[in-house]
Amino acid sequence: MLQNQYDIVIVGAGPAGLIAAIESCKSSKKILILEKMHTPALKLKISGKGRCNITNDAGLGDFISHFGKNGRFLKFAFANFFNTDLIKYFEKLGVQFKLERGGRYFQENDDAGDIAKALLNKVKSLNIPISTNSEVISITKLPDNNFVIAVNKKNLAGNKNAQCIRIRADKVVLATGGKSYSRTGSTGAGFRLASQLGHTITPLFPSLVPIETKGSTAKKLQGLSLKNVKAQVWCKNKKVDERFGEMLFTDFGLSGPIILSLSKTVVKLIDNKEKVFISIDLKPALTHKMIDQRIIREITEHSKQGFKNLLKKLLPGKLVSVFIEKFKIPEEKQLSHINSEERKKLRMLLKEFQFEVTGYRSFNNAIVTSGGICIKEINPQTMESKLVKGLYFAGEIIDIDADTGGFNLQAAFSTGWIAGRKKAISFCKLVDKQ
Ligand SMILES: Cc1cc2nc3c(=O)[nH]c(=O)nc-3n(C[C@H](O)[C@H](O)[C@H](O)COP(=O)(O)OP(=O)(O)OC[C@H]3O[C@@H](n4cnc5c(N)ncnc54)[C@H](O)[C@@H]3O)c2cc1C
């Protein structure tokens, strides 16, 4: 049964909202979490393909660089609650982690559900109520500094308009996430709520999103995952971004970690109506000269073999047929008949396997939202709004987003931790007064 008045109301039971609630409990007793979905933490449970890449072991400077220019906003939060703190936090809650390639921490048994369960058990043990099926539709600030929160409370049959409740609170934490994967509950509603309270929302883009490419080449390679390749973004004959690592071909284009990380650059260029290409270096460890020497060696040593045999030695199976098609060279053509022009063409294709970008997938396929509450309007030391006293932000709703690798969840937990911590808040009030 919901009451009329709370000290703190937290909107959104994702990682940011849940940790904010747990930490708020140290200073306040009357806390309520409002969650619009029937179950809390839906996105956390599917994170990292259900394995949850919770954080990264990168050092502070490197970690922050993964957020681009807005990363500096997180300096204070990370200085107070960083990767090792997060790991220890969950270890105390009974969750263990393992470190994988790229410094990525995953839950020990590859079960993101265990992380959500640990948070929810902690919330329960602190007697913090979570009201699910409760969608916040408006937040108003009264002259007496109280907030009035209007909530659409669905009944068990899921009737959205069953009941509209009004709750008062001294403080509100908006932790409603971004706009991606709306089926997990984050539909971007929090941006509207913040905007009604006077906040600026910087333009919203899907980020860490798969890229659509021209032609049928990607479709033919669908399902092929490549490791240790370099992907570059090209626009107006200039290289504008690049990443090294793992990628994936899909029925519509390109995906996988390095493509998702490059997507932020691509999305902005495409929205500016630029012509964009992604060039894949399939042999980044070899120079053009080294590749040519390797091809010449193969030709000399196996001169009677067919062209296809050479490709098989250089490429995974699926790529062989695509390369043969691109060359328009009969696959049985003897290596001794391959001329220098054809050698050059092969070398170029290995180093610059190009795809023209035609677009990108929607918010529903994006791992995170780029853009959000303008960081200039939030105190980075408390996560409190600089415009509305008593209003706090945590997690992806803020205009911060990073590469894949556990950076986004760390940001959600660190900002939630700071927003919830009375200690940090009072410390900063002291600092502010000085
Ligand atoms: C498929 C996928 C995989 C991912 N994997 C990783 C990973 O491995 N590592 C990583 O670092 N990041 C990952 N991310 C990103 C990460 O999950 C998010 O950045 C993180 O969950 C953001 O946390 P949050 O608490 O801010 O928001 P969310 O997790 O989105 O939670 C917001 C909550 O607010 C609720 N809500 C929204 N509006 C309202 C309203 N009006 N009233 C009441 N409640 C509301 C929503 O229902 C939701 O429960 C992944 C994302 C996706 C989509």
Q: What's 410's domain CATH number?
A: 3.50.50.60
Q: How far is the CA of 247 from the centre of ligand 1 (A)?
A: 24
Q: How far is the CA of 414 from the centre of ligand 1 (A)?
A: 14
Q: pLDDT band for position 251 (50/70/90)?
A: very high
Q: How far apart are CA 18 and CA 120, in angstroms?
A: 8
Atom of ligand 1 nearest to the CA of 17: 25
* Of 367, 369, 415, 418, best ligand 1 pocket probe by most atoms within 8 Å of the beta carbon: 367
Asked whether residue 231 falls in the same domain as residue 300, the answer is: yes
Q: How far is the CA of 377 from the centre of ligand 1 (A)?
A: 22
- For the record, the structure tokens of 129 come out as 């109520």
* Of 82, 133, 408, best ligand 1 pocket probe by most atoms within 8 Å of the beta carbon: 408
Asked whether residue 156 falls in the same domain as residue 283, the answer is: no
* Of 176, 207, 263, best ligand 1 pocket probe by most atoms within 8 Å of the beta carbon: 176
345, 361, 377 — which closes off a domain? 361
DSSP H or E stretch at residue 301: helix 288-301
- For the record, the structure tokens of 248 come out as 């994936």
Nearest CA to ligand 1 atom 33: 12
Asked whether residue 357 falls in the same domain as residue 376, the answer is: no
Q: What is the mean pLDDT of residues 156-164?
A: 66
Shortest CA distance to 419 belongs to which of 17, 5, 15? 17
Q: pLDDT band for position 429 (50/70/90)?
A: very low
Q: pLDDT band for position 162 (50/70/90)?
A: low
341, 361, 381 — which closes off a domain? 361
Residues sharing a CB contact under 8 Å with residue 81, sequence separation 6 or more, in sequence order: 413, 414, 417, 418
81-118 CB burial, b ≥16 within 10 A, e <16 = bbbebbbebbeebebebeeeeebbbbbeeebbebbbbb
Q: pLDDT band for position 426 (50/70/90)?
A: very low
pLDDT at site 422: 61
Question: pLDDT tens-digit profile of 72-106?
Answer: 999 999 999 999 999 999 999 999 999 999 999 99
Amino acid making up residue 247 = M
* Helix-helix angle 15-24:112-125, to 10 degrees: 30
Shortest CA distance to 26 belongs to which of 350, 383, 421? 421
pTM score, two decimals?
0.91
434, pLDDT greater than 60? no
303, pLDDT greater than 70? yes
Tell me which residues have their CB closer than 6 angstroms to ligand 1: 11-17, 34-37, 42-44, 46-48, 52-53, 135-136, 175-177, 180-181, 185-186, 189-190, 367-368, 395-396, 406-409, 412
Asked whether residue 344 falls in the same domain as residue 390, the answer is: no
Nearest CA to ligand 1 atom 37: 176
Range of the domain at 93: 5-206+365-433
Nearest CA to ligand 1 atom 29: 14
220: exposed, middle or buried (Cβ count in 10 Å: 0-12, 13-18, 19+): middle
Question: pLDDT tens-digit profile of 353-411?
Answer: 999 999 999 999 999 999 999 999 999 999 999 999 999 999 999 999 999 999 999 99
Asked whether residue 30 falls in the same domain as residue 159, the answer is: yes
* Helix-helix angle 317-327:340-351, to 10 degrees: 130
Asked whether residue 194 falls in the same domain as residue 241, the answer is: no
End-to-end CA distance of the chain: 43
Atom of ligand 1 nearest to the CA of 51: 8
278, pLDDT greater than 80? yes
Q: How far is the CA of 399 from the centre of ligand 1 (A)?
A: 14
Atom of ligand 1 nearest to the CA of 178: 30
Asked whether residue 109 falls in the same domain as residue 187, the answer is: yes
Asked whether residue 354 falls in the same domain as residue 392, the answer is: no
Question: pLDDT tens-digit profile of 37-67?
Answer: 999 999 999 999 999 999 999 999 999 999 9
Asked whether residue 340 falls in the same domain as residue 420, the answer is: no
Q: How far apart are CA 404 and CA 250, in angstroms?
A: 18
Asked whether residue 105 falls in the same domain as residue 85, the answer is: yes
Residue 283 has a CB neighbour count (10 Å cut-off) of 18
pLDDT at site 424: 41
Q: What is the DSSP letter of 202?
A: P
Nearest CA to ligand 1 atom 13: 47
Question: pLDDT tens-digit profile of 199-250?
Answer: 999 999 999 999 999 999 999 999 999 999 999 999 999 999 999 999 999 9
Nearest CA to ligand 1 atom 8: 48
361, 379, 410 — which closes off a domain? 361
Alpha helices in 93-171 (DSSP H): 112-125
Q: What total of structural domains would you count in the chain?
A: 2
Q: How far is the CA of 349 from the centre of ligand 1 (A)?
A: 40
Q: How far is the CA of 228 from the centre of ligand 1 (A)?
A: 29
Q: pLDDT band for position 431 (50/70/90)?
A: very low
**372, HSE (Cβ side, Cα atoms, 13 Å):** 29
pLDDT at site 331: 86
Q: In Å, how far are 40, 67, 124, 314, 396 from 112, measured between CA atoms?
A: 13, 23, 19, 38, 18
Q: What is the mean pLDDT of residues 253-272?
A: 96
**123, HSE (Cβ side, Cα atoms, 13 Å):** 27
- For the record, the structure tokens of 106 come out as 């995953």
Asked whether residue 125 falls in the same domain as residue 241, the answer is: no
* Of 409, 410, 414, best ligand 1 pocket probe by most atoms within 8 Å of the beta carbon: 409
Asked whether residue 198 falls in the same domain as residue 230, the answer is: no
